[in-house]
Amino acid sequence: LSEDQLLTLADYEERARAILPSQMFSVLFGSDGASGFGGNTSNLAAFRSTRLRPRVLAGVGKRNLSTTVLGHPIDFPVMLAPVGFQQRVHPEGEIASARAARVARTVFTLSTGSNYSIEEVASGAGGSLWFQLYFFRDRALNERLVQRAEEAGYQALVLTVDHLGRSKEMEIRYDFDQFNKRIVHTLQRERIYRNLTTMDMPGVPTRGPESFRGAWEWDLNWSDVDWLRARTRLPLVIKGIQTAEDAEICRERGVDAVVVSNHGGHGSPDAKGTLETLHEVVDAVRSEVEVYMDGGVRQGSDVLKALALGARAVFVGRANLWGLAIDGEEGVQRVLAVLRSELDLNMSLCGVTDVEHVIPSLVAPFWARMADGNSP
């Protein structure tokens, strides 16, 4: 495929698969149906089996795609999810992705585990930045990271609460150990754990992936959310909510927003598709908490489906990296442009004029069709 033949995100995925080392592609992304990545397969299936119910004669000559997240305007309801160590696929890593988000006038979320630091991304890219925290046992380390994000002008703090384990099957099948060792040689030495190596603190976990993951708080619980809430003036977003029950607790605890997410299917292989979970979370928070979702968004119509089921906006993870791997900042810009124009087209095809007013009856989710006694 030449550049001008990259028309859909499926084309970007295919190209990325062709240019990245095959082990890297399967470890980072897993394919639809790949062993151990059942959550990703469910995410994709939920979108495929939820169909649109297009309305007509709705006067769609002018369409509004812009909205707000936590009070900040974005040009269309697609944001970039935190994706760790982006230099694995392109030397400019997070700087390139954040610049692309700025050009597209949307949010870029920086992972704790990044190859460009909180400060480097703020000064090298700017735009609307959110910081994603992996919560460490060392509370002083968490506090310092949050403080740095605040000082550098990040607009929200995203606490990731899922993805706490990895199966033996995954370790062996995908040979994470050898993969991590090999990958370290492809990164610029000074960029490994960039957020941490720049810190002058004792015990900061910088000795490779195992020390990084090994330093996480595996006992994370709701009192840690309260602890964090009390230590930041930034809005708090909880990423990884997958049930109404947990969404309800977020609401009670005054969390500002939640992301319905299963870490792109890197978590439990038996997790529901996130699109399926969305409506119960939306119901549970009773409009008091903003709800976003991610997992399996591959085309503009997917965004519309998520909005119909109550999401205020969606995030993309894999698609960001595919664009980045192919053509750096330009590639990510193009991925975002594809999603934007597909969303716009689908709005006009479905009689939708405003992303803030997408009604639930726009979709016929398979579970509703099942309840009606119709086959999926």
Contact positions vs ligand FMN (CB under 6 A): 28-29, 43, 81-84, 111, 113, 132, 160, 239, 261, 263-264, 294-297, 316-318
**Minimal distance, residue 49 CB to ligand FMN, in Å:** 16
Measured from the CB atom, the residue of 239 and 279 that comes closer to ligand FMN is 239
Identify the sign of the CA torsion 284, 66, 79, 153: negative
Minimum CB separation from ligand FMN for residue 2, in Å? 25
The structure tokens listed for 50 are 């939820």
Q: How do strand 51-52 and strand 363-364 relate by DSSP bridges?
A: antiparallel
Token pair 């909205």 in the structure block, residue: 67
CB of 63 to ligand FMN, least distance (A): 24
CB of 126 to ligand FMN, least distance (A): 21
For ligand FMN, the closer CB: 263 or 340: 263
All residues at 6 or more sequence positions from 189 whose CB lies less than 8 Å from its CB, including other chains: none
Q: Would you state the structure tokens that stand for residue 176, as one six-digit string?
A: 């994470």
Helix (H, G, I), strand (E, B) or coil at 293: strand
DSSP code of 33? T
Q: Which two tokens stand for residue 108?
A: 């870029």
In angstroms, rounded to a whole number, what is the distance separating the alpha carbons of residues 293 and 239? 9
The DSSP bridge pattern shows strands 128-133 and 107-111 to be parallel
- Helices 318-350 & 300-308 angle (0-180, nearest 10): 70
Cβ nearer to ligand FMN, comparing 29 with 193? 29
Q: Catalytic site residue 263?
A: yes
109 phi, psi to nearest 5 deg? -110, 120
Which one, 20 or 65, has the nearer CB to ligand FMN? 20
Are 80 and 101 within 8 A, CB to CB?
yes
* Backbone angle region of 203, left / alpha / beta, with phi > 0 → left and psi within -120 to 50 → alpha: left
Q: Least CB distance from residue 129 to ligand FMN, whole Å?
A: 15
Report the nearest approach of ligand FMN to the CB of residue 317 (Å).
Answer: 2
Q: How far is the CB of 316 from ligand FMN (least distance, A)?
A: 4
Location of structure tokens 């004669």: 57
Choose between 134 and 366: whose C-beta lies nearer to ligand FMN: 134
Of 263, 266, 279, 357, which residue is the catalytic one? Answer: 263
Residue type for position 254: G
Select 146 or 357, whichever has its Cβ closest to ligand FMN: 146
Which residue bears the tokens 């549970």?
A: 284
Residue 141 or 297: the one with the smaller Cβ distance to ligand FMN is 297
A 10 A CB-CB count for 180 gives 14
How far apart are the C-alpha atoms of 6 and 15, rounded to whole Å? Answer: 8
244 contacts: CB under 8 Å, gap ≥ 6: 280, 281, 283, 284
Give me the active site residues, please.
263
